Amino acid sequence: MLPAGVDAPSSFETIGHIAHLNLRDEQLPYRHVIGAVLLNKEPHLRTVVNKLGSIENEYRVFDMAAIAGEPRLETEVTQGGSKFRLDFSKVYWNSRLESEHLRLVSSLPAAGVLVDMMAGIGPFAVPAAQRGLTVYANDLNPSSAAYCALNARLNRLGSGLRVFNMDGRAFLRLLCDTPGGPAQELRERAAAAGAAALPPSAPAAAPAAAADAFLDAFAGAFDPATWHERPLPMVHCYTFKRAAETEADILAKAERYLGGPLEPESVSVHTVRDVAPNKLMLCLSFRVPRVVAFRGREHAA
């Protein structure tokens, strides 16, 4: 059904009843035919969309067009026993990260706390709360925050998952700041809802593409009087590595964002997946260095 020289798409992403394609220029004139054939071959699908461009907005959402089936972009997916509802046109979602969501969550202490600076609709936050962690989930995108709260209800998490909608850097600083300061508002909101207080040993995850650029938020974010005798949080952040780069280059980049050296004994690097030829997605984990955490606030200890 396609002319010579035009290949059919070799792969696509499935999000519930939606198939997500990224068609090449030569395939675009035949997009409706491609979509119809896909619906015919995959009876569980109801909608086929094509990505129209790269992600260029602060919410990590790309433009798309429905090319076949029903123009219905709210769907539901299941990952590892967790249910997620989302509108694919309004929030970020990547089904190919399922194994990474499960890997990271399984590595967290079951009685701990997760602070998710860029939580999306909850792919880390929801299963972490199901494991028994107290979770503080934040996203700048109002739609993502709303779906994260909805998914907390769908999975019957009660007060174990608290959702916020604000800038990630501001969210982190509020949670880590001096008791009685701006953080008190968030703590009081959580306490009023019956959530456990945020302990100072909370691990923090920042799942987002190139989230290493947000590491500067940790500089001077911690109150020395509260944290000086306590272990600082573990951070899990995502970055990309090109073929010409080494692991040492990735660590040096993280240190530039932090504005200080990492503590080698706390550092680990996990390869998540290939995202393009000669480009890897990595998860960098480390404990917040004390020299970074207390920068400019040492006199308060």
Among the listed ranges 49-53, 157-161, 191-195, which one has the minimum average pLDDT value? 191-195
pLDDT of 202 over the 80 cut: no
Q: Which CATH architecture has domain 77-300?
A: 3-Layer(aba) Sandwich (3.40)
pLDDT band with cut points at 50, 70 and 90 for residue 185:
low
Same CATH topology for 13-72 and 77-300: the answer is no
pLDDT of 70 over the 70 cut: yes
Q: For the chain, what are the domain ranges?
A: 13-72, 77-300
234: which strand partners? 287
- For position 56, what pLDDT does the model report? 63
- For position 187, what pLDDT does the model report? 57
Answer yes or no: is 139 a known binding residue: yes
pLDDT of 20 over the 80 cut: yes
Region 121-143: mean pLDDT is 94
pLDDT of 138 over the 50 cut: yes
pLDDT of 181 over the 90 cut: no
Displacement of CA 18 from its chain's centroid (Å): 21
pLDDT band with cut points at 50, 70 and 90 for residue 103:
very high
Percent of the chain with pLDDT over 90: 59
Integer Cα distance of 135 and 109 in angstroms: 12
- For position 229, what pLDDT does the model report? 82
Let me know: does 115 contact 202? Beta carbons within 8 Å: yes
| 258 or 226, which is more confident | 258
Mean pLDDT for the chain overall? 85
Answer yes or no: is 81 a known binding residue: no
Sheet of 113-116: strands edge to edge?
Answer: 161-164, 134-138, 113-116, 204-206, 234-242, 279-287, 268-276
Q: Give the chain's radius of gyration (CA, Å).
A: 21
Answer yes or no: is 270 a known binding residue: no
Question: Domain 13-72 adopts which CATH fold?
Answer: GMP Synthetase; Chain A, domain 3 (3.30.300)
